[in-house]
Amino acid sequence: MEERQRAVLGDEDGGPTCPLCCEEMESTDLALLPCPCGYQICLLCLHKIRNEGNKQCPACRSE
Ligand SMILES: [Zn+2]
Ligand SMILES: [Zn+2]
């Protein structure tokens, strides 16, 4: 079951991708943890969510 967990973050080209825009995430994107739940998105999408006023985590709906 451990392999299944790894596949959640990125199963394309071996690199993790942003679940919102499907762009590959760089180390800078991976370094930031916007939510304690471990959900990760790229910087662009993070800014998007912040600018739109909806600062909720898409995964767990917490701020
Ligand atoms: Zn993104
Ligand atoms: Zn979250």
Q: How far is the CA of 31 from the centre of ligand 2 (A)?
A: 15
Q: Is residue 57 in some structural domain?
A: no
pLDDT at 59: 87
Q: Is residue 59 in some structural domain?
A: no
Q: How far is the CA of 59 from the centre of ligand 2 (A)?
A: 5
Q: How far is the CA of 33 from the centre of ligand 2 (A)?
A: 9
**Number of compact structural domains in the chain:** 1
Domain holding 42, by residue range, is 2-51
| Confidence band of 10 (pLDDT split at 50, 70, 90) | very low
Which residues on neighbouring strands pair with residue 17, listed in sequence order? 24
Query: Which residues neighbour 34 within 8 Å (Cβ) at sequence distance 6 or greater?
Result: 40, 41, 46, 57
- How large is the average pLDDT for residues 13-32? 87
Q: Is residue 33 in some structural domain?
A: yes
pLDDT at 55: 85
Q: Is residue 29 in some structural domain?
A: yes
